[in-house]
């Protein structure tokens, strides 16, 4: 834990006070954080002489932009100055020609999106939401958020849905990211915080098992911790069906069939039991439920696990020995084991492995989940998730409802109950849900069974989208509201470590652009709530702290000033009422007890079961999906940066040489991947780094190469996570008329 070095009553200015130019740009630089993944790397934004004049005549062509460039920030402890290509080019999307700068309204006469004024656009959205509620009831209006929204936006969006609209129909795309790991961690430990320890601990442990994560491409600056681990004599085990750039760093690479990670974890626990590599004292003193979990593991003997997973018995024994003999060891999971219809049980099996060997709650050891989206952690803590209230409180908990209602000044009975999970909400569009407010998400590309989701969006009576760019989803909207970006507004995010950080405003947004908080303030006022939705992010954060007080994710002792002074504050950090002291924040969880009623971690017995969809004669292969180094999530932003497009210009189908020979295909040939839900066409990429029975596609693109046209929306029964990581497919040569073509990635929006 680190001590507080700041006066808690003093708020440091969010931009350096030394000077700004006429356009609001800090001339001495602004320390902030990257807008992309949950690593939330520190960076500094500096004026760029190549940026040009933001007041240049728009008639002469696109304006050059606000003139910001990204510089390294070596003093931030997580990335220590290192940035990936996405972070280094993040300022390019701030240029007005790369994004939306005026509201768009779909005109009845033309059927097209055309420029409009803000008052007209907000009036249309408010009128449509009000009309929908009055005609069909509150739950006919839905809200869908994003894991990239700041804590303040996520909090305000959940409050807007439950107070202004009175709807239970709110969820967010973070359901597609971390829900299985969150559910499993809560089930075992009583609390979910992606990493219950600082990322720096990874470099100091003795053995890391990295399950379904390709850090080298998804979070490159974090790879240094793995390098430091190995340089100090530690061991890395990577579990992945592909030999990724990360797997190439491993001392041992296990390549199971997609969808069999659960059996693999159970098989390793079986071996640890059989070889006597358990921590009996820890099991007795700090856990409950071991006999049942032990019995489940013993049903998964090595030879059975080899048949299920394709991982050989000698490899299983090597992995169990390396992990079991290590003095300190960690298991870190990511989307691989989580994005399955049994993702909660799969993560639970890896947690059982850690508990049986005495890892969680001990220094330099334990279990952690590598959160993906920029605010994936905070986004699920403060109320935009279907079943949660701020502070990671349960919406069906009477005490939680009473506390939050008291902060909001309403009757607890007026708050709606839990609603549908993300895919279930999208599937209901055009049926029970007739109007949708979509903020910071692009489900036309990112959702499973994406062609169906696109049809449901088209079936709505009304769709309003708040976004920075005209994404594939925004193009379907009746009203598009252009909102400010990360460098144009202040707000907090919570990193994968549980470190609450401050993204500072560095420059004013272009004329015609408003913040999401301003949008919600304007809509709430039109719908009868003149107060309660301030546009000032610090005011929202202060209220968020009061609403979270006493909850599992307690932010009540965190202020903007503390974050700025301390390079972030780890939650839980309660306000110390009347004590005269300041809580230091909680860098490491569970050192004394777990967050369960009895303080013990819980083993949960789990058994392997097949994926929701197994290969057959018509679809004999398994498809798995993921990310590439130079694109991010649905690509709505990164596909507008030339350098990133040059590095990763489009989708591809990764396949083994043996399968390529069977198809008569070579690198670059157009292939069609076909599932029971759709067809996607992309060039072949032949590599021996993938299993012969598996193909891989990245999911950053829409159109003909949309990987999520294929994926299975089968849901985990506990987390409601869709099964992105495995479905049955066949691969065939594409028809000549199917040669893949892609829309220009930097296409501008009408009226931009």
Residue 187 has a pLDDT of 98
pLDDT of residue 96: 85
Q: What is the mean pLDDT of residues 703-716?
A: 97
Predicted confidence (pLDDT) at residue 18 exceeds the cutoff of 60: no
- Burial degree of 85 (CB within 10 A; 0-12, 13-18, 19+): middle
Taking residues 49-72, what's their average pLDDT?
Answer: 56
Q: Compute the CA torsion angle 377, 381, 382, 385 (nearest 10 deg).
A: 90
Is the pLDDT at 736 greater than 60? The verdict is yes
Higher per-residue pLDDT: 61 or 636: 636
Among the ranges given (97-101, 161-165, 396-400), the one the predictor scored with the smallest mean pLDDT? 97-101
Task: Read off the pLDDT of residues 674-684 as tens digits, 9 standing for 90 and up.
Answer: 999 999 999 99
- Is the Cα dihedral 193, 386, 151, 155 positive or negative? negative
Average pLDDT score, the chain: 92
Per residue in 376-411, pLDDT (tens digit) is: 899 989 999 999 999 999 999 999 999 999 999 999
Per-residue pLDDT, averaged over 351-362, amounts to 98
Question: 54: pLDDT confidence band, cut at 50, 70 and 90?
Answer: very low
Q: What is the pLDDT of residue 98?
A: 83
pLDDT in tens, 605-619: 999 999 999 999 999
Q: Kindly report the number of other CB atoms within 10 A of residue 661's CB atom.
A: 11
Confidence of residue 590 (pLDDT cuts 50, 70, 90): very high
% pLDDT > 90, the chain: 88
Q: Looking at residue 10, what is its pLDDT?
A: 26
Q: How confident is the model at residue 579, as a pLDDT? A: 67
DSSP codes, 455-486: HHHHT-SEEEEEESS--TTGGG-SEEEEB--G
Q: Which of 64-73, 299-308, 417-426 bottoms out in mean pLDDT, i.e. has the lowest?
A: 64-73
For residue 21, pLDDT over 70 is answered with no
d(CA 680, CA 668): 15
Model pLDDT, residue 289: 98
Q: Indicate if the pLDDT at residue 51 is higher than 50.
A: no
Q: pLDDT, tens digit, for every residue of 525-554?
A: 999 999 999 999 999 999 999 999 999 999
Q: What is the dihedral of CA 277, 279, 280, 283, to 10 degrees?
A: -130
DSSP letter for 366, please: E
> Quick one: pLDDT at residue 3?
32
């Amino acid at each position: 834990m680190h001590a507080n070095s700041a006066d808690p009553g003093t708020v440091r200015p969010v931009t350096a006070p030394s000077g700004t130019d006429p356009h609001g740009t800090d001339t001495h630089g602004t320390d902030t954080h990257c807008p992309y993944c949950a690593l939330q790397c520190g960076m500094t934004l500096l004026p760029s002489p190549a940026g040009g004049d933001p007041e240049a005549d728009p008639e002469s062509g696109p304006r050059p932009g606000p003139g910001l460039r990204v510089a390294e920030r070596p003093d931030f402890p997580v990335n220590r100055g290192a940035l990936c290509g996405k972070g280094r080019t993040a300022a390019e999307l701030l240029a007005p020609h790369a994004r939306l700068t005026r509201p768009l309204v779909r005109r009845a006469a033309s059927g097209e999106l055309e420029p409009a004024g803000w008052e007209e656009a907000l009036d249309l959205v408010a009128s449509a939401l009000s009309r929908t509620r009055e005609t069909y009831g509150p739950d006919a209006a839905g809200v869908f958020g994003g894991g990239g929204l700041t804590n303040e936006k996520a909090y305000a969006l959940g409050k807007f849905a439950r107070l202004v609209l009175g709807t239970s129909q709110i969820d967010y795309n973070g359901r597609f990211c971390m829900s299985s790991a969150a559910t499993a961690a809560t089930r075992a430990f009583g609390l979910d915080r992606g990493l219950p320890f600082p990322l720096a601990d990874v470099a100091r442990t003795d053995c890391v098992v990295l399950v379904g994560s390709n850090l080298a491409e998804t979070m490159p600056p974090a790879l240094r911790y793995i390098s430091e681990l190995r340089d100090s004599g530690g061991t890395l085990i990577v579990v992945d069906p592909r030999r990724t750039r990360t797997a190439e760093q491993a001392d041992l690479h296990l390549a199971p069939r997609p969808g069999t990670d659960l059996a693999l974890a159970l098989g390793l626990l079986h071996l640890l039991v059989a070889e006597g590599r358990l921590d009996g004292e820890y099991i007795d003193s700090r856990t409950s439920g071991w006999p049942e979990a032990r019995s489940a593991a013993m049903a998964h003997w090595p030879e059975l696990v080899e048949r299920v997973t394709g991982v050989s018995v000698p490899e299983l024994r090597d992995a169990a020995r390396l992990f079991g003999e290590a003095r300190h060891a960690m298991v870190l999971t990511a989307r691989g084991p989580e994005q399955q219809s049994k993702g909660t049980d799969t993560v639970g099996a890896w947690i059982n492995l850690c508990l049986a060997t005495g890892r969680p709650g001990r220094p330099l050891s334990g279990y952690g989940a590598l959160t993906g989206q920029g605010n994936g952690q905070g986004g699920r803590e403060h109320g935009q998730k279907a079943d949660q209230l701020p502070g990671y409180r349960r919406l069906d908990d009477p005490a939680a409802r009473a506390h939050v209602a008291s902060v909001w000044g309403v009757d607890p009975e007026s708050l709606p109950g839990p609603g549908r999970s993300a895919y279930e909400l999208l599937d209901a569009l055009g049926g029970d849900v007739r109007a949708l407010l979509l903020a910071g998400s692009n489900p036309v590309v990112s959702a499973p069974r994406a062609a169906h989701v696109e049809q449901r969006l088209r079936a709505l009576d009304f769709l309003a989208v708040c976004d920075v760019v005209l994404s594939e989803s925004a193009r379907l909207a009746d009203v598009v509201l252009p909102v400010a970006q990360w460098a144009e507004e202040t707000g907090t995010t919570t990193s994968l470590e549980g470190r609450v950080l401050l993204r500072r405003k560095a420059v004013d947004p272009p004329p015609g652009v408003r913040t999401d908080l301003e949008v919600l303030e304007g809509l709430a006022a039109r719908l009868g709530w003149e107060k309660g939705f301030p546009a000032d992010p610090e005011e929202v954060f202060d209220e968020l702290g009061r609403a979270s007080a006493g909850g599992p994710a307690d932010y009540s002792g965190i202020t903007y000033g503390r974050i700025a002074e301390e390079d972030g504050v780890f939650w839980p950090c309660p306000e110390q009422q009347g004590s005269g002291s300041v809580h230091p924040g909680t860098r490491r969880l569970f050192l004394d007890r777990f967050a369960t009623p009895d303080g013990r971690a819980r083993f949960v017995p789990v058994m392997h079961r097949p994926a929701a969809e197994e290969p057959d004669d018509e679809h004999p292969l398994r498809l798995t999906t993921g990310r590439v180094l130079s694109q991010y999530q649905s690509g709505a932003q990164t596909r507008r940066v030339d350098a990133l497009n040059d590095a990763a210009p489009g989708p591809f189908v990764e396949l083994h040489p043996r399968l390529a020979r069977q198809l008569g295909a070579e690198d670059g040939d157009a292939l069609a991947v076909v599932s029971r839900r759709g067809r996607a066409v992309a060039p072949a990429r032949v590599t021996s780094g993938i299993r012969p029975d598996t193909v891989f596609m990245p999911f950053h693109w829409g159109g003909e190469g949309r990987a999520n046209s294929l994926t299975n929306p089968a849901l985990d029964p506990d987390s409601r996570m869709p099964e992105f990581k495995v479905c049955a497919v066949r691969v065939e040569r594409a028809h000549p008329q199917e040669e893949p073509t892609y829309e220009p990635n930097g296409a501008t929006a009408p009226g931009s």
